[in-house]
Amino acid sequence: MLELDRTTPALAGLVSADKPLDRIHHGMSFGEGPLWNRRDGSFLWVDIVGDTIWRWQPGIGAKPLIRPSGKANGLTFDREGRLCVAGWASRTVWRVEADGAVRTLASHYRGRKINSPNDIVVRSDGSIYFTDSPGALYNVGMAAADLQQYLEFQGVFRIAPDGAVDAVITDTVYPNGLAFTPDESVLYVNDTRLGEIRAYDMRADGSCGAMRLFHKLTGAEPGIADGMKVDREGNIYCTGPGGIHVIAPDGKLLGRIRISDHCTNLAWGEADWRSLYITTYHSVFRTRVNVPGIAVW
């Protein structure tokens, strides 16, 4: 059974309390990077501190997929089904090629080493967007080999299909989760330090327009703006105090899915994209929702 905070009755249309909350894995130091693989029906996530990308198959269980992982953080697939990784402590974005080789897609911006890629999403045009917070330079237990911050900002980058790396957002303090609206006209970015979700209108060339404050997270419980995903009706699911905050397309809080452990991220899964996988510091949880999430390539 799910613990729900129903801030508005509309939450019932998205999440039902009678759904189970299954714990499908336990024992990580810091879970993150949840990702459903539609091609083989498996689920991937990372343990940042444990330096491992994990793979779980229903009925079989979990095995390390890549270890060490450069303390990988956010994961996604590109349109060809290649695993794309926000390389937290490697300070790169890297991709696993069809033959298993690892290829670095981004490591520097204008000659300077980037901070530490946090989360990642691929747009339908094949471009990759990632947040570049500096956590691997500062956080205890997640250290990069080189701890020096060289960039004067902590923003969001775009890797164009031709490989060019551009800064599309530079006004964030600690950008973390990011997700597009279903029509990809708006990019949502949350900021852990500011405790808010921002919305940026997308321009035709893939750059981001002016920022507008979309939502301020509320709640006194442990939990921060970290992972964030959007469903097919445009509702936003974002980690925050006490669990997962469900926010309507107009920016109003509908309610919360309460999680007892500290939530770090979430991902849609299963063939109908109606399962919600949730990573916490120590566990992976799974529940079911009524509206399917935006599919991952």
Tokens 């697939």 -> residue: 77
- Give the shortest CB-141-to-another protein separation in angstroms: 6
Asked if residue 45 lies in contact with residue 269, where contact means CB atoms within 8 angstroms, the answer is no
Contacting range for another protein; rule: CB under 8 A; set: 38-46, 59-67, 135-143, 233-241:
135-143
- Give the shortest CB-197-to-another protein separation in angstroms: 20
The reply to whether 41 sits near another protein by the rule CB under 8 A is no
Asked if residue 63 lies in contact with residue 54, where contact means CB atoms within 8 angstroms, the answer is yes
- Give the shortest CB-222-to-another protein separation in angstroms: 9
Asked if residue 117 lies in contact with residue 93, where contact means CB atoms within 8 angstroms, the answer is yes
The reply to whether 147 sits near another protein by the rule CB under 8 A is yes
Q: Which is nearer to another protein, 153 or 297 (CB)?
A: 153
Contacting range for another protein; rule: CB under 8 A; set: 138-146, 163-171, 179-187, 266-274:
138-146
DSSP secondary structure letter of residue 231: B
The reply to whether 74 sits near another protein by the rule CB under 8 A is no
The one among 89, 142, 189, 202 contacting another protein by CB under 8 A: 142
Dihedral, CA atoms, 102, 108, 110, 114, nearest 10 degrees? 140
Dihedral, CA atoms, 164, 165, 171, 177, nearest 10 degrees? 110
The reply to whether 173 sits near another protein by the rule CB under 8 A is no
The reply to whether 109 sits near another protein by the rule CB under 8 A is no
Restricting to residues 43-62, which ones interact with another protein according to CB under 8 A?
A: 49
Contacting range for another protein; rule: CB under 8 A; set: 11-19, 117-125, 142-150, 239-247:
142-150
The one among 50, 117, 134, 240 contacting another protein by CB under 8 A: 134
Q: Which is nearer to another protein, 55 or 262 (CB)?
A: 262
The closest of 59, 24, 65, 23 to 47, measured between CA atoms, is 65
Restricting to residues 241-270, which ones interact with another protein according to CB under 8 A?
A: 262
Contacts for 68 with CB less than 8 Å, ≥ 6 apart: 51, 52
Asked if residue 15 lies in contact with residue 2, where contact means CB atoms within 8 angstroms, the answer is yes
The one among 2, 11, 25, 30 contacting another protein by CB under 8 A: 30
Cβ neighbours of 255 (radius 10 Å): 21
Give the full edge-to-edge strand order of the sheet including 236-240: 3-6, 253-258, 243-247, 236-240, 228-230
Residues at the site binding another protein, with contacts judged by CB under 8 A: 29-30, 49, 134-135, 137-143, 145-150, 262, 281
